[in-house]
Structure 1
C-alpha cells in the first residue's frame, strides 16, 4: 500500500500573524512533518509558488477553488492549467450550492460540472475531485452518495475529498441541521451522522472506497461558534473548527475538553483501517486544515501552524500503529479484513 503525502492547508501556515509566501514554504520545510503545500497558486503569484517549491523542496501537490455552475467552467480550465504548471497533482472542486441563476444546483448540473472537470483533468494531466463542505452542494450530506452513483453510472470514478468536519459539524446541532433541512431525517433516525451509530453516513462514504484525499480538522458535537470573528453579515463564524490540542489560557474563547476531539479522531482511524485493509484504496493525500477564516479559526490566539503540526504528528503515529496492528493480525488469522483495529 502506497504511503500518503501529508500537506498543510495554506491558510494554516501561520502562527498569530499572516506569513509571507516564502516564510510559509520555510515553515513547512523546517517542521519536518509535511510533504507538500496544500494551496492552489494564487493569481499573480504562480511563478513564485514554483520557484519557492523548488527552493525549499516542498512541492505544491494539492489545492482548491470555489466554482459556480453555469458561470465558472472557463475559470476551472484556467485553474487546472496553472495548478499543473506549479506541480499540482489533484484539484479539489468546491461547487456552490446555487448555480449562476441563483437556483439550487441540480443533480444534472453537478454531474455535468464534474464531467467537464474530469475531461479537462484527463487532457491536462491533473486529478480532480469534489468535497463535502458547507455552502456547497454537498452540505446536504444526503446528496453525496446519489451523486457519486450517478457519476459512476456515467463511466467516471467519483473522486471524493473527505473533510469529516463538515459532516460532524451537524452532529447534535439542530441549528446546523436546519441549514440544509436534514433535521427531521436525523431526529427520526432516517439519516445518521454520529460515527458511533450503525448506518452512519461517514462509514457509508468510506466503504465506497472513493476517498482520494482526507482533510483533518477537528470540530465538536454542538461546538461553540467562533465569537472572536464577526462576519460581514453580523453573525459569528460557524463552529467549523475546534482546537486539536489544548490551547493555553487566553488563547481561545471557550473551554477546551479533550473528548470533544474524539469523533474526528475516530473517523480518521476508520479511514486508515479501511485504507490498509482494502487493496486498491485510492487514498493518497492527507491535509491538516486548521485555518484562519471566520467559520474556522479567524481571530484565534493560538498558533494555527502549531495545531496543524500536532495533527500531522498524531496522524503519522496513528497510521503507523494501525498499519502494524493489521499486519500483525494478518499473521494470526485467515480473515484479517474482518478485524476492526482499536487504536487510541
Structure 2
C-alpha cells in the first residue's frame, strides 16, 4: 500500500500495535504515559528492532526480514520533543545535513535547505547559530531539517510538548505545512494538535489499540476511557431505552440522540460542565465520592457521574464526601450512541 503500514511487536515492552497511514493522512496516536506511543515511533524510525511484525513504507519492506533497513535509509523524518540541532553547524548546515548525507552536494543541498526553511517560515534564521535560537525557532528548524531530506513518512513525537504556550502556535503552523500531502504519524497529549492536524486518531493503552476512528468520531463520540478523558467528556455505559439510556449504575438519562431498537448495549457522553447538581430535584441520586479542583472549577465525582461547578456553587451546595446529591443532565447535552465496531 502507499503510505505507512506498521505492525509493531515489542515483547519486552508488551507492545502489539497495527498502524496504517494513508498517502495524505496524519494519524494521531494518543494514550496515557507508558502506553507504548513513543515505542511505535522509534520502531518505525528503525531505532528499535522489532521482535515480530513488519513495517512497510510505500510497499517497501523495512523490517521483518534478517536485515532491517537502517534508519538513515528508511526515508523517515523524525521530529521529537527536543530539536537536538547540531551545535557545530549553522541553521542552514543543520537543515542541509540530510540532503548532503544522501549524496547531494554544495548548491543542491543549499537549495533543499532554503526550500525547507521557507516552508516553516525560517529563512531568516539560516545563518544563525543554534545556541542563539528560541525554543520555538529551534523546533521549526528541526521540522525543516526533517523535510529537507524529502521523507516518505514524517514522524512527530510530541513536537510541541517542551515549548511554552506562545511558541506552540507558530510550531503548529509549521507542522501543518510539513504534513500537507505526506503520510504523518503524530504522538501527542495536546487536543489542539489533534483537532488541527489529524485526520484519524488511534488510542493506545497498555501497548494495544483500544479505540480508533476519525478525529470527529474519537473526540465527539469516544468509546474508551482515555478517549473520553482526552476530549473532556464523561463516558458511561448502559442499555438503550425509548428515550435515551438506562445506566449500568442505575437510573435513566434522556438523550438528544437515541439507539434503536431499545435493549441494545450503548454508550452515553456528556460534558461535565453541563451537569446540574443539587441536594434534591429530579436528577439521578448518587453519593459524592471525591471533590477536586479542575481548571478553576470544582469537580464533583458522584460514583460514576461527574459534574464541574464553579467554586461559589460548590460552596453554596456545601458538599462533602459521603453526601447524597442529585445530578441531572439536560437532554440537549446527552449523546447516546452505539460503540464503533
Structure whose residues are more often strand by fraction: 2
User: What TM-score, normalized to structure 1?
Assistant: 0.26
Structure whose residues are more often helix by fraction: 1
User: What TM-score, normalized to structure 2?
Assistant: 0.26
Bigger radius of gyration: 2
